[in-house]
Chains A and B, each alone.
Chain A
Amino acid sequence: MSELLSPTLITVAMAAALIGALAGVMGTFLVLRGQSLLGDVIAHASLPGVVAGFLISGGRGFLAVLAGALVSGALAGLAVQGLRRGAGIKPDAALGVVLSLFFAAGVVLLSLAQLRPGSAGLTVFLFGQAASVLRADLPAMALVVALVLAVLALFWKEFKLVAFDREAARAQGLPVAALDAVLTVLFAVTIVLGLSLAGVVLMVAMLIAPAVAARQWVRGLAPMVGLAAGFGIFAGLSGATVSALGPGVATGPVMVLSATALAMLSVLLAPERGVLGRVLGQRRTRRALRGRQVLEALGGLGRDHGDPGFGPEQGMLRAYLGAGTTRVLARLQREGLIRPAAATVPQGRTPRWELTEAGHARLAALRAEGGR
Chain B
Amino acid sequence: MTKTLNIAMVSDFFYPNVGGVENHIYQLAQCLLANGHKVIIITHSYENRIGLHFITGMLRVYYLPLLVFYNQCVLPTIIGTLPMIRTILLSEKIDIVHGHSSFSTLAHETMFHAKTLGIFTVFTDHSLFGFADASSILTNKILELSLADVNHAICVSHTSKENTVLRANLQPQNVFVIPNAIDPNEFSPVELSNGDGRLRIIVMSRLVYRKGMDLLAGIMPEICQHYSDVDFIIGGDGPKRLLLEETKEIYQLHDRIQFLGAVPHNRVSEILNQGDIFLNTSLTEAFCMSIVEAACCGLQVVSTSVGGIPEVLPTDLIHLADPSVHSLLTNLHKVIENIRKGNVTSKPEIHKKVSRLYTWPKVASRTEAVYHSVMKQRRPTLKGRIQKVLSCGPVIGKLFIIFIFLDHLVCRILDIIQPVKSKHSEDITTKVHCETHFAVKSGKR
A complexed with B:
no
